[in-house]
Structure 1
């Protein structure tokens, strides 16, 4: 499994600010750090980009509110995290639309089961694609070529490339699913206790 949790930059931590920092404090913190971190002054380009991105998030009241409420910002999140978040977003919608009474079922366990099922299905799909690609390659090895043009060979090679692209896409999908799964680590769900059976009179 990949790393646990989510790797999103904490703009408050990066700028050395408390959560309730006002606009003046945000601007002052940014200017102070920018003096030492700016690439023109010998600072690191990547770190300066993160500092600037953090400042831009905190000075935008809408983005800041979303970050404060969710802990995420699309522009600061790791790409793998964003893919995992999109995966979870769909599943959370399914959880919300479930008509069963909250507490009567464990939606977190359901999310984990769904992600596990998706990984298994995607791995099976990759195996099928690999078998198909191997068959196409065997045809390529066995087919005779006309000297002036190899139309069939070109078509079969193009098909092999398409299958390889599909395999790569499926592997990326598995990475996103695994990332979503790790984001669920540490969560539990409190179920309503089962009613005790009535004693016989």
Structure 2
């Protein structure tokens, strides 16, 4: 991911006039028609467009990702992490007294376990439906019960696929936490005998 501020040589507080001015100045030497580098020109254009779009700029400033260029999996992972960051901010415990990164990892793990358990339950229900369907005699003509059971089985299959996708998204959020550590304050425990 490119940093549009670095590419245009701007501070994060730059307004749209400063963005336009920096772009015009740098594009003169970067444009391929004037002997510039095609890749650099493309990066300048992307940086310019990102910083002039207030929504994209806000998302980039808050996350480091351009919503138009980022992988969908990363954006979905960001949505999950955003919720966890909000929970961390609202936690009343003193910073340094608990590890919010470890807490986020535990919450993500709990969500994955819960989703996998949910999948197992749905697979059990779907197997039961199929067993009923195999044992039920078919009514000639319109098979109302057969269609209803088949529709239920398909709905459960869709729910299973949705849960599997949710697990992948949660796993992506977990990967995005890689490399983070949190420094806890070490408090001395006084001996009760003193």
Shorter-normalised TM-score: what interval? 0.7 to 0.9
Deviation at 1:145, TM superposition (A): 1.0
Q: Does 1:20 align with 2:13?
A: no
Matched ranges for 1:163-182 at <5 A: 163-182=156-175
Deviation at 1:69, TM superposition (A): 5.1
Give the conservation status (yes or no) of the 8 Å contact 1:85–1:180: yes
Q: Which residue does the alignment assign to 1:60? A: 53
C-alpha offsets along residues 130-163 of structure 1, whole Å, 9 cap, x if unaligned? 1111111111122111111100110011001100
C-alpha offsets along residues 20-70 of structure 1, whole Å, 9 cap, x if unaligned? 284244356499369xxxxxxxxxxxxx8x986654213336643652453
Give the paired residue count: 179
Provide structure 1 residue ranges, at least 5 long, that are not aligned to the other structure. Answer: 1-8, 35-47
Deviation at 1:79, TM superposition (A): 0.9
Q: Which residue does the alignment assign to 1:142? A: 135
CA RMSD in angstroms, aligned pairs only: 3.2
Q: Closer, same or farther in 2 for the Cα pair 1:52/1:175, shift >3 Å?
A: farther
Q: In 2, distance between residues paired with 1:139 and 1:33?
A: 69
Q: Does 1:10 align with 2:9?
A: no
Length-normalised TM-score, structure 2: 0.77
Provide structure 2 residue ranges, at least 5 long, that are not aligned to the other structure. Answer: 12-18, 34-41
Most deviating of 147-156 and 187-196: 187-196
Q: Which residue does the alignment assign to 2:106? A: 113
Give the conservation status (yes or no) of the 8 Å contact 1:80–1:179: yes
Length-normalised TM-score, structure 1: 0.75
Q: Closer, same or farther in 2 for the Cα pair 1:55/1:161, shift >3 Å?
A: farther
Higher-RCO chain (CA-CA 8 Å, sequence separation at least 6): 1
Give the conservation status (yes or no) of the 8 Å contact 1:11–1:51: no
Q: In 1, distance between residues paired with 2:105 and 2:145?
A: 45
Q: In 2, distance between residues paired with 1:177 and 1:68?
A: 23
Give the conservation status (yes or no) of the 8 Å contact 2:7–2:47: no
Q: Closer, same or farther in 2 for the Cα pair 1:33/1:166, shift >3 Å?
A: farther
Give the conservation status (yes or no) of the 8 Å contact 2:23–2:44: no
